[in-house]
Amino acid sequence: MYVARLTPDQYINRELSWIAFNQRVLAQALDQRTPLLDQAKFSAIFSNNLDEFFMVRVASLKSQVEAGISTPSEDGKTPQEQLLTIRKHLIPILQQQQEHYRHHLKHRLCEHNIHLLDYDQLVNRQRHWVDQYFQTSIFPVLTPLAVDPAHPFPFVSNLSLNVAAVIRDPETDQCQLARVKVPKKNLPRFIAIPPKLSENNTLPIHTAIPLEQVIAFNLKLLFPGMAIEGHYFYRVTRDADLELRELEADDLMIALEQGLRKRRIGGEVVRLEVANEMPNSVIDMLMTGLNIEEADLYKIDGPLGLDDLFSLTNLPMTELKSKMQTGQTPLVLSKTQQNLIDEGVIKPKEFETIFSVIRQQDILLHHPYDLFSTTVEEFINQAADDPKVMGIKMTLYRTSTDSPIIAALTRAAENGKQVMALVELKARFDEDNNIQWARHLERSGVHVIYGVLGLKTHTKIILVVRKEKDRLRSYVHIGTGNYNSKTSKLYTDLGLLSTRPELGQDLVELFNYLTGFSKQQSFRRLLVAPVTLRKGMESLIRREIDHAKADRPGMISAKMNSLVDPGIIGLLYEASQTGVRIKLIIRGMCSLIPGLPGLSENIKVISIIGQFLEHSRIFWFANDGKPEVYIGSADWMTRNMDRRVEAITPIEEPALRRKLERLFDLYMQDNRGAWDMNCDGSFTQRMPDKEQSERNSQIQLTYQWSRGLHPTQ
């Protein structure tokens, strides 16, 4: 294992790097070239990302501070210093988001007859309708809670939006605080007002008012006989990370369910958001009741919880959204689709099984440009129904709520096949969903396992065993993304379908490792974490270093979500110093600093942010004209290398390697969604010159795919 010796000025703090990534997400909302409803979507993604950041990363740092841990991070900051720096960086970014919402988004939406109104902007008939709606649809589910010596401060659940009502007793003239929880889980955040109530209803008008304002301006009905002195909104974020001791599988499920119940309520408060106009006296009462410090308080000049802007994307106004297509069946697989027979596109005799196509060639898939439903799901569906298939094994890290893959596995078990599914119960924020699927699969006769003790199984693999002419043949799918129908339309991911014997045997042994019946320490072609991945990646980087030292061209190109592992970063610095040319496409966190003279001047880093979330992982090593290329589930993060089960597969077919090389070129030439990382750790968004045409890699891939030309077709 390579031991990094990085100085603090050679490593960017991972939390600050994450904030920089989320700022690039927000920049999509602020960019006037982004369609209007997509601006709302990106602002919502920014808020949702930030919620998870506080629930997990900030919560972890606060726990370290409370435990008295002062060990500095790689960049030399103690946990307390990191918390203070996080706050310093976030405050101006939050102001940007709110200014965009108040001064741009709302006004532009009005131009398109989408009105997000405050209560005092309603005309009389709208106000009458809203008040009636409150009485019939909101009032019965509300529970006002007083705060006084007889009523202790109420528990405020995680991510809940609340109204702090200051009420006065006219008889005693005493004021007290009351809390009203806004029932967002039961009602929409934005209450739609019938168009006929608008002043001008000659055009289709979408009018809505925030749910919390409907409640706030009807508080008199909740506190009859009391005077309402004021109302203010606040929101609480709690520690939502699950700490689990190592347990056997049955106990793990029970422990997770107990932990999930705790998470729904929430752990310690890590953030209090309050409306900017809230008086200090009310803030002090909240801070005391929630037991938080000044550093945990965020004053917001606008509506809280803008993640609810997601709901605006459901409006039927396609002209205000990006026109991204949803994908197509790869030509090489089109004859395997039964629906084409049904539609009369091809004749039944031309039909081929997906297995016969895979036997002829490896198939490289690129989602969402290649449809997930007619590739990966079709692979599983045909395996479930094919009488020659003897067994199916696969890993499930995150899957969709209404999963066709779960249905196929259930059907395969009912058809008498040997079916094994590794369901990772510890997939963060998907634990509950995975517990339900695990139980469903077990009831259907699927053998369900929960992975290797002490490790999270993150790998994306399928093994199908088929009997052909008195022999068993293995068919494999090894991917970079989850087996999730929903996210397959939103994330860019790669996958390999192959029947190469060495890959099949590697997966047989990897599944044995996952079930606990093997202590496999080597694999033929796969790089597997935590067994061989780190050593394998270090060896591949070192080989490029050796080429450069021998005056042969050394080149590395890599694409991933995050790069924060100090060992890999140190080795890349060494490679740069020996003359290896390194191109990195890192969507999220990057703790490596490019372009530093004498250290990393041969390293270039870009980040692609667009309509699709760039999720694919590719590792390309020039190897003096004999390139080796890998795809798989792992980023260059310590957790992926050492604490997770991951699988990286080589792409053996030269034509497929060349397609991935062209894909890299397309990304590197992007001047719309690409950001260049600077040597101070900041990012600069690329903009086309006046004489340049706009090159958006995702749109180019969509365009090329529709003509059967995209690099991975």
Checking if the pLDDT of 256 tops 70, the result is no
Long-range contacts of 151-158 (CB under 8 A, 24+ apart): 153/288, 153/289, 153/290, 154/179, 155/265, 156/181, 156/236, 156/269, 156/290, 157/181, 157/236, 157/238, 157/264, 157/265, 157/266, 158/55, 158/236, 158/237, 158/238, 158/240, 158/263, 158/264, 158/265, 158/266
458 is catalytic: yes
List the catalytic residue out of 100, 367, 458, 710. 458
Alpha-carbon gap, residue 277 to 231, rounded angstroms: 10
**What per-residue confidence (pLDDT) applies to 152?**
79
Alpha-carbon gap, residue 394 to 416, rounded angstroms: 17
Model pLDDT for residues 626-672, shown as the tens digit of each residue: 999 999 999 999 999 999 999 999 999 999 999 999 999 999 999 99
- The pLDDT-based confidence of 7 (bands split at 50, 70, 90) is very high
Checking if the pLDDT of 26 tops 90, the result is yes
* Mean pLDDT computed over 522-536: 96
Whose CA is closest to 492, among 252, 711, 653?
711
**What per-residue confidence (pLDDT) applies to 297?**
97
Q: Tell me the two tokens of residue 695.
A: 């090159």
- The pLDDT-based confidence of 591 (bands split at 50, 70, 90) is very high
Model pLDDT for residues 266-287, shown as the tens digit of each residue: 579 999 999 999 999 999 999 9
Q: Find all residues with CB under 8 Å of 248, minimum gap 6, and list them.
A: none
The separation between CA 191 and the C-alpha centre of its own chain, rounded to angstroms, equals 28
CATH superfamily of 528-706: Endonuclease Chain A (3.30.870.10)
* Mean pLDDT computed over 676-694: 93
CATH superfamily of 34-320: Polyphosphate kinase middle domain (3.30.1840.10)
The separation between CA 199 and the C-alpha centre of its own chain, rounded to angstroms, equals 42
Q: Find all residues with CB under 8 Å of 329, minimum gap 6, and list them.
A: 337, 370, 371, 374, 375
Alpha-carbon gap, residue 675 to 204, rounded angstroms: 39
Of 84-93, 107-116, 145-154, 382-391, the poorest mean pLDDT is in: 145-154
Beta carbons of 186 and 141 less than 8 angstroms apart? yes
**What per-residue confidence (pLDDT) applies to 602?**
98
**What per-residue confidence (pLDDT) applies to 244?**
41
Model pLDDT for residues 535-572, shown as the tens digit of each residue: 999 999 999 999 999 999 999 999 999 999 999 999 99
- Give the 3-state DSSP-derived string for 67-114, with helices as H, strands as E and coil as C: CCCCCCCCCCCCHHHHHHHHHHHHHHHHHHHHHHHHHHHHHHHHHCCE
Beta carbons of 239 and 62 less than 8 angstroms apart? yes
Alpha-carbon gap, residue 163 to 233, rounded angstroms: 5
Kindly tell me the number of DSSP H helices and DSSP E strands found in the chain: 21, 27
- The pLDDT-based confidence of 148 (bands split at 50, 70, 90) is confident
- The pLDDT-based confidence of 398 (bands split at 50, 70, 90) is confident
Q: How many CA atoms lie within 13 A of 425 on its CB side?
A: 28
The separation between CA 686 and the C-alpha centre of its own chain, rounded to angstroms, equals 24
Domain residue ranges in the chain: 34-320, 340-522, 528-706
**What per-residue confidence (pLDDT) applies to 676?**
98
Give the CATH fold of the 340-522 domain. Endonuclease; Chain A (3.30.870)
**What per-residue confidence (pLDDT) applies to 549?**
97
Give the Cβ contact number of residue 309 at 10 Å. Answer: 26
Bin 506: left if φ > 0, else alpha if -120 < ψ < 50, else beta: alpha
Model pLDDT for residues 307-330, shown as the tens digit of each residue: 999 999 999 999 999 986 778 999
* Mean pLDDT computed over 387-400: 89
**What per-residue confidence (pLDDT) applies to 377?**
96
Whether 340-522 and 528-706 share one fold: the answer is: yes
Beta carbons of 145 and 178 less than 8 angstroms apart? yes
Type of residue at 585: I
DSSP letter at 372 equals S
Q: Tell me the two tokens of residue 89.
A: 């960086």
**What per-residue confidence (pLDDT) applies to 4?**
54
Mean pLDDT over each residue of the chain, to the nearest integer: 89
Strands of 269-275's sheet in order across:
145-147, 174-181, 161-169, 227-238, 269-275, 297-300
